[in-house]
Amino acid sequence: MSEKTMLRSRLLAARAALPPESLVESAESLARQGMELSELAEAATVAAYVSVGREPGTRALLDALHARGVRVLLPVLLPDNDLDWAAYEGPEALAKAGRGLLEPTGPRLGPEAVCAADTVLLPGLAVDGRGMRLGRGGGSYDRVLARLARAGVDPALVVLLYADEVVARVPEEPHDHPVHAVVTPRGVTRFSGAEA
């Protein structure tokens, strides 16, 4: 078993043990912390995602951004695990999709639409002090980060996590990209090695 696989298993088990009431409190705190983050406060377009299961909750943050007039792009999973994008039009415009995901029902904008984002919110399981992010291992966001690099755009990359998911070290591979900041229910940490 690889180091990444072992770390993922440990982190997913910790998430599974979280009491339901802490999930609601964490989501509300993430929204407050996120809305104070300059990369979100000043953004015209944010690429985000709808949290599912035990992921740190994004719904309150999505609604707050949408209410502020920010154009929020949400992913639509393609059969090859790449991501298309569509605009968030509120919770009533989300539909159940494969793998337990919720996806926007509006017109698809294409995989390149993410390149217009000022900030990209990334799901993850952990981040370390260098800003290296551990994802779930499906590769969808590795493709997004590679697409941004090919397009020559440099949006702020922000990962949303629980406080204990900021760890000493995340195993990395050559295709991994550091993030600029992590938002947890306890606050924001910025990483100097990944300047926006």
Kindly state the greatest CA–CA separation across the chain. 45
Give the separation between CA 152 and CA 40, rounded to whole angstroms.
21
Among 111, 138, 135, residue whose Cα is nearest residue 125: 135
The sign one gets for the Cα dihedral 36, 40, 44, 48 is: negative
- Nearest CA to 116 out of 158, 77, 155 is that of 155
Instruction: Please enumerate, by residue number, every residue annotated as part of a binding site.
Output: 4-8, 50, 55, 133-141
**Which residue type occupies 111?**
P
- Are 105 and 112 within 8 A, CB to CB? no
Provide CB contacts within 8 A for 161, sequence distance 6+.
56, 124, 125, 126, 127, 182, 183, 184
Annotated binding site for substrate: 50, 55
Residues annotated in the binding site for ATP, as ranges?
4-8, 133-141
**Through-space distance between the first and last CA atoms of the chain, rounded to whole angstroms:** 34
Asked if 18 contacts 54 with a C-beta cutoff of 8 angstroms, the reply is yes
